[in-house]
Chain A
Amino acid sequence: MAAPTTTSAVTGGNSASRPLRPTQRKLPFPASLYQTAVGKKWVMALTGLMLIGFVLVHMAGNLKLYLGVVQHQGELIYDADAYGESLRELLVPIVPRTHLLWVLRLGLIGAFVLHIHSAYSLTRMNLATNFAYESKRDWLAANFASRSMRYTGVIFLAYLIFHLADLTWGLIPGYEWERGEIQHNVVGSLSNPVVAIIYVVANLALAMHIYHGIYSMFQSLGINNPRYNQLRRPLAIGVATIVLVGNVSFPIAVLTNIIEYDPSLLAG
């Protein structure tokens, strides 16, 4: 620790000794954990893991768009629509229809809120503590994905709001939105090349966000094992690629008529 002593001797005092952030009153545990940056990163990693889980399940569910029409309880129905209905009927008759789905949705919304709030608050902290260099930096380890997390996150959030307005609430004009008619709505929405391009751009941002997120998650949670550390990059690349390839396949399949909506098939 020779360094700081010498520089302090030069100044004849320590002008840097005043904290940049005043100490806060400690809240009771576990809220106290969320008051610290290390705790916020922990929350960010755990909520990120939940959100990645959702993204993977959502993508896997959408693969049913490829299955087309199936026999379901004696009638012809698009398999994607049957899957949507099965989500609403989770645990029926133990709990009433859509109740468990809402519990899951609330968990997801909670994860989103915490993920975004911790990101916002850590970004503010970092903007307050860093001091930009006047000369050009030569980055050695930071990559485009790691340095653009806050931008890819915001881009994807903007897309998410559009996505809900488009397919969940039917607020975006351009096709006849019908509640619960998943195949009809997805095909109607993504047949518009502009929507398809927005979809692809948002998923590129998402894949980059997931790539750094997965790599970073282990470090934030303190999961470190010399045996498995070298698997973090391949895992991050693998999951990001699965999400990207799966999700981007949908607009391409709609535009090339691989995924279709044909009401005459339902008439049987």
Chain B
Amino acid sequence: MSKRLNLTLSVWRQAGPSAPGSFMTYHAKNIPDDASFLEMLDIVNEELIETGEVPIEFPHDCREGICGTCGVMINGRAHGQEKGTAACQLHMRKFSDGDTIVIEPWRARAFPIVRDLVVDRSPLDKIVAAGGYVSAPTGTAQDANETPIPKEVADSAMDAAACIGCGACVAACPNSAAQLFTSAKLWHLNSLPQGQAERFRRTEHMVETMEQFFGSCTNHGECTEACPKEISQDFIAYMNRDYIKSQIVNRKLAGQK
């Protein structure tokens, strides 16, 4: 028999993108401590539905920490207090009976609130669409082991590719900058042989698209702390380096030395 928790929730409620929002207090009673954070919200919502109230809208999908859909500010921290853990993998056993939990949606000008805790993160898609791919219109894909990739390079690319695009880095950043997201998407491809042909074009386009929506990096390091995949800020340095290079390389490629 698991322990049961009684909690006070302070949840941001907002009916629509332009509707006024405010914190509402809810009592989450008899929550099993092996429930996940999202399951706790499900239990609260069931009760709200039974009493005829509008349930709390919150983003969720796979609930196993790999899709990047969930993510809210929990007591002032993106995805809550567990390092390297998405909100869906945060369990109620990490809280104590009688706790007050403040739940707020991600905040950034580029992430307008859709409803309650759900925000629109489509600017992140715009960044990927600007170059976060490898163009290979060459018929059948070759065997994977045809291109030798050193272990260190594959590891580094994989560390960057771990990004699930949840937007916690933007949410945690005091400037709402998307540097960690963009640099992870860049390094995932820029470090691999397959990504070299488009490396500098990709970097220029993705950075410039990012800057249309998001702020500028001031190297606080909040993003890495918030990231459920613990993606390193080192990738931001690689992005800065490649961006400066791209200004010269891309002009050379275009024949204007």
Contacts and interface: CB of A to CB of B under 8 A. Distances in A.
Q: Do A and B originate from a single complex? A: yes
Interface of A: 1-8, 10-11, 14-17, 19-23, 29-30, 32-33, 36-42, 122, 125-126, 128-143, 146-147, 149, 212, 215-216, 218-224, 226, 229
Nearest to A223: B237
Given A16-B111, A126-B216, 9 more contacts: A4-B125, A6-B61, A11-B114, A14-B120, A17-B126, A37-B217, A126-B215, A129-B177, A133-B104
Contacts of A221: 240-241
Interface string B65-103: 001110101011100000000000000000000000010
Interface in B163-204: 164-167, 172-177
A130 B243 contact: no
Contacts of B107: 130-133
A150 B215 CA distance: 15
Contact of A5 (B12, B125, B221): B125
Contacts of A130: 107-109, 173-176, 215
Given A17-B123, A218-B237, A224-B238, A23 B212 contact: yes
Nearest to A32: B247
A128 B119 CA distance: 18
Contact of B244 (A17, A39, A133, A146): A39
B47 interface: no
Interface of B: 10, 12, 17, 23, 59, 61-62, 67-69, 71, 73, 75-77, 102, 104, 107-112, 114-115, 118-126, 128, 164-167, 172-177, 207-208, 211-222, 224-226, 233-234, 236-244, 247-248, 251
B180 to A, nearest CB: 12
Contacts of A136: 76, 102
B128 A1 contact: yes
A195 B166 CA distance: 52
A33 B244 contact: yes
A221 B208 CA distance: 17
A8 to B, nearest CB: 5
Contacts of A128: 109, 215
Contacts of B233: 219
A10 B118 contact: yes
A33 B247 contact: yes
A90 B237 CA distance: 39
